[in-house]
Amino acid sequence: MGTFSYRAIDQDGALKSGTADADTIETVYNDLAARGMNVLDVAKAGRLTTGIARGFSSWKVKRSEIAEFAANLSVIMKAGVPILDALGDISHTLDNKYLMRVVDDIRERIQSGTSFSNALAQHPGVFPDIFIRLATIGEETGRLEGSIAEVAEHLQKMEDLAGMVKRALIYPIFALVVTGGALAFWIIYVLPKIMVIIKDMGIPLSFITKLLFTASNLMQSYWYVVLAVPVAVFIILKALKQKEGTRFYVDFLKIKLPIVKQFVYNKLLAMFSEQLRILVVAGITIDRSLVIVGNAIGSEVFKRVLLRVRDQIMTGSRISDSMRQESIFPPLVTRMVDIGETSGNLDSQFGFLSNYYYKRLSDISEKLGKMIEPLLIAVVGVIFAVIIIGLLLPIYDVVVKFDKG
């Protein structure tokens, strides 16, 4: 399936443009024509265009809004309201105008004969893959409202998880910004004035003092380079992450670095357990579930591990035995999966693991500030100790010479 950009005139005579996912250009033509639109042109969208379109969509619609949309749709449908009427009612209550247009587009596609899941699939930047897949399963099993309710619960848990991440990062980011600002103020503004006084007094400069003086001059002369370096590093890292090999090593470091590991590793285990739980409940086979989770979990390390586990399962191995061969899974996970296989309630075991790692992640997010605080104090202390020593050494030399004299 590819992404195509199109321009067309709707039934009201307005020019419409956008992107659509389909197998061929003819499929896009037929889909637009079925919706009563006069197609002007359709072309294969480039990778950059596709990435920008999906990034724009995900930026315009928050995950919390999709979770609320899914929850409302499920409640209305459980009350016996047809899906077209339910979508119409929800569309009128949405504050996000972009999401309103997306919901209206889904409703139009369903009216023209498209299934709900296929209509969702036309907006991959708005609706996550797990939403589309569970909607497909719900349509096949006749319990669409139940699948949508599961999606709403899952997305809410993902939103809560993102909230934990943000809360955990508030203190470290604040501390780094304040420390960096204080350091820049000292080096750019205070240090040069003190250095001028020391030089005017004819005091010999030590190596550390000369080093500080050079750093101060460089920051004053090339301040724009100092500001550009973090931006350049960010862009380079983003570009490198486009390569699968680089992503693997970056993700590997995340689950190995001392303090970062505690946070990232537990987050990945929570996401792994929660997503497998919801897919197993929906009736998706474990081999398909592992592929879906591997693509959605956001870690190249976990993705490769899950694909290896899937291959082992396909050759006849038990899930727990296959997972036991991978060191990335802690004993608790393999033990609970083993119990789930034996008792036939694998979804319950994944639910237990999900709640367990969410709890651990919540505890870690509350303690992260206290864990990082000693490290920040040590780094800041060393930096300012160097500055103070560099300033006091020349004065100390003068005092020593004065006493000797």
Q: Supply 350's token pair.
A: 């994944």
Tokens standing for residue 174: 């604040």
Could you give the 3-state DSSP secondary structure of residue 205? coil
Residue 48 pLDDT exceeds 50: no
Query: Do the two domains 59-156 and 167-405 of this chain adopt the same fold?
Result: yes
Contact 255, 268 (CB under 8 A): yes
d(Cα 337, Cα 268) in Å, to the nearest integer? 17
2-50 CATH fold: Ubiquitin-like (UB roll) (3.10.20)
The answer to whether the pTM exceeds 0.95 is no
| CATH superfamily membership of 167-405 | Type II secretion system (T2SS), domain F (1.20.81.30)
Residue 401 has a pLDDT of 61
- Exposure of 400 by Cβ count < 10 A (0-12 exposed, 13-18 middle, 19+ buried)? exposed
Instruction: Give the torsion through C-alpha atoms of 364, 365, 369, 370, to 10 deg.
Output: -30
pLDDT tens-digit readout, 273-285: 988 888 888 778 8
Terminal C-alpha separation, the chain = 87
- Where are the domains positioned within the chain? 2-50, 59-156, 167-405
Express as a percent the part of the chain with pLDDT over 70. Answer: 84
How far is Cα 394 from Cα 43, in angstroms, rounded to an integer? 71
C-beta neighbour count of 346 within 10 angstroms = 21
Of 58, 34, 37, 40, whose CA–CA distance to 110 is shortest?
34
**What is residue 190's DSSP assignment?**
I
How far is Cα 325 from Cα 323, in angstroms, rounded to an integer? 5
| Structure confidence by residue, pLDDT tens digits, 326-355 | 989 999 999 999 999 988 888 899 989 988
- State yes or no: pLDDT of 20 exceeds 60: yes
List the one residue out of 112, 137, 107, 145 whose CA is nearest residue 123.
107
Does the structure show a pLDDT above 80 at 75? yes
Q: Which residue has the higher pLDDT, 73 or 366?
A: 73
How far is residue 254's CA from residue 59's CA, in Å, rounded to a whole number? 25
Say if residue 373's pLDDT is above 80: no
At 237-269, the pLDDT tens digits run 777 777 777 788 888 888 888 777 888 898 889
The count of other CB atoms within 10 Å of the CB of residue 45 is 19
For 59-156, CATH gives 1.20.81.30
- What integer is the mean pLDDT of 110-118? 86
The sheet carrying 38-44 orders its strands as 15-22, 2-9, 38-44
Is 282 in contact with 309 (CB distance < 8 Å)? Answer: no
Q: Can you read off the two tokens belonging to residue 355?
A: 């709640």
Between residues 390 and 342, the one the model is more confident about:
342
Gyration radius from the chain CA atoms: 29
Q: Tell me, what's the pLDDT at 384?
A: 77
- pLDDT of residue 125 exceeding 70: yes
Q: What is the mean pLDDT of the chain?
A: 80
